[in-house]
């Protein structure tokens, strides 16, 4: 906890840039609230600059550097987590759209036959995107889109985080290590490695994807594997969001419902 008596008369600026979009501006506003909770005697304001960074004035040089280092680390964690949350939400939306199109093509083939090739191309592109994105999300690499990389980044800054009291407990190096071990056991993640270079959508059976190479029954990627991996990623990231923000994150996939309307209109046109 900060020794608030040392920060009276100080100024802390939370920076953001409109070029990064309205979501980042909202994130900066929320982060400024977290800064105020940590330093209630300081004057905290929002200003223009590199998004989710801070500038500290009105304190001794050494203290300013310490406060800035701590808050900048927190800002980087919040921005990194926000980026991954949006990526997983986008991935889930693509998965749901792909599944919806496949279902429509299977149950309404005759009425949609005039555009069948188009929809097969769309589902193939969406499906490939889902698998490749999931593969990167679960890969132990330096990809910024990898949950493992995020957990390593979180571990590096665990002692600098401002956290809310929740039933999930606090984020510690030990809890992050436990999360990594759980991630290693994710069902379906190993199957992703077989689908990086040659993947194609498959609609005839229970497999979410079939590949040109020979893949055994035990190695094949099932639709339920993809669903499970997406849900695991959502749960992990949403839990960290709750602890760091004191509220739940809403994965908004309301736009997916528009796919049904598109197909309803197409079926009416083809009649």
Domain ranges of the chain: 1-59, 73-270
Q: Tens digits of per-residue pLDDT, 67-100?
A: 999 999 999 999 999 999 999 999 999 999 998 8
Q: What pTM was computed for the model?
A: 0.84
Indicate if the pLDDT at residue 34 is higher than 80. yes
Range with lowest mean pLDDT among 19-23, 141-145, 202-206: 202-206
Q: Residues 6 or more apart from 123 whose CB is under 8 A from it?
A: 98, 101, 102, 105, 201, 203
For the chain, how many helices (H) and strands (E)? 8, 5
Q: What percent of the chain has pLDDT over 90?
A: 50
Maximum distance among all Cα pairs of the chain, rounded to whole angstroms: 76
Q: In terms of Cα–Cα distance, which of 44, 46, 130 is closest to 89?
A: 130
Summarised one tens digit per residue, pLDDT across range 158-184 is 999 999 999 999 999 999 999 999 888
119 pLDDT above the threshold of 70: yes
Select from 34, 33, 70, 78 the least CA-distant residue to 52: 78
Q: What is the pLDDT of residue 195?
A: 61
Q: Give residue 271's pLDDT band: very low, low, confident or very high (50, 70, 90).
A: low
pLDDT score at 200: 42
């Amino acid at each position: 906890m900060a020794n608030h008596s040392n920060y009276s008369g100080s100024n802390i600026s939370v920076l953001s840039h409109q070029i990064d979009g309205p979501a980042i501006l909202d994130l900066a506003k929320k982060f400024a609230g977290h800064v105020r909770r940590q330093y209630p005697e300081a004057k905290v304001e929002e200003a223009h600059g590199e998004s989710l960074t801070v500038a500290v004035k009105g304190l001794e040089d050494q203290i300013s550097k310490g406060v800035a280092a701590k808050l900048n680390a927190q800002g980087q964690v919040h921005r990194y987590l926000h980026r991954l949350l949006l990526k997983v939400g986008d991935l889930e939306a693509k998965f749901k759209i792909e599944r919806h199109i496949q279902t429509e093509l299977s149950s309404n083939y005759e009425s949609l036959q005039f555009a069948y090739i188009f929809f097969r191309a769309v589902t193939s592109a969406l499906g490939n995107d889902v698998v490749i994105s999931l593969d990167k999300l679960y890969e132990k690499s330096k990809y910024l889109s990898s949950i493992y990389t995020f957990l390593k980044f979180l571990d590096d800054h665990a002692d600098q985080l401002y956290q809310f009291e929740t039933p999930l407990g606090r984020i510690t190096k030990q809890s992050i290590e436990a999360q990594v071990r759980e991630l290693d056991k994710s069902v379906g993640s190993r199957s992703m490695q077989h689908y990086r270079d040659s993947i194609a959508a498959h609609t005839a059976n229970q497999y979410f994807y079939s590949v040109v190479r020979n893949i055994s029954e035990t190695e094949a990627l099932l639709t339920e594997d993809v669903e499970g991996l997406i849900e695991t990623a959502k749960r992990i990231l949403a839990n960290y969001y709750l602890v760091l923000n004191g509220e739940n994150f809403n994965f908004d996939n309301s736009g997916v419902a528009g796919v049904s309307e598109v197909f309803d209109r197409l079926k009416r046109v083809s009649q």
